[in-house]
Amino acid sequence: MHKMKLIWFTFGTTLITQCAHHPDVRPSESGVHSVVLTSDSANSNYAYASSQAEAYCDTLEQKFIVVSEDSQFIGSGSEDDYKRNKKIADVAKIAGSGAAVFGGKMERRGGAVVGLGGLMGDTLLGAGYQYELKFKCKK
């Protein structure tokens, strides 16, 4: 009985960890697979996407080859407004946190409010960019 539990545990753990390394990979019958991610920045996704593509191809015992990359703004409003508002939210989070930690009694309260406002603004703005990496797996 103990041996059977160990086998099922090993199988389940292997299955979960295999999928966890490439959760955003979208396999395709054509052989050109893709990884689609969203983020705050147009330029910050290649490393994460390529690691998922590599992990996916590793499960097939193949190497990954990049076919194409594309990044586009998907936020509401203009891209310039999005970037400006993200910077404002980041400054509010940093300044508010600093005041909350290092300030006096009144500064701590004000800093907490400002930091929370920055966090809420950042959350409401969400991820404004979509990145897609298309790749193939080759032997």
* Spans in the chain with pLDDT lower than 70: 1-20
The predicted structure's pLDDT at residue 3: 64
Strand runs labelled E in 45-96? 63-73
The predicted structure's pLDDT at residue 15: 44
The predicted structure's pLDDT at residue 87: 86
The predicted structure's pLDDT at residue 126: 85
The predicted structure's pLDDT at residue 91: 82
Residues 6+ away with beta carbon under 8 Å from 63 = 54, 57, 137, 138, 139
* pTM for the full predicted model: 0.69
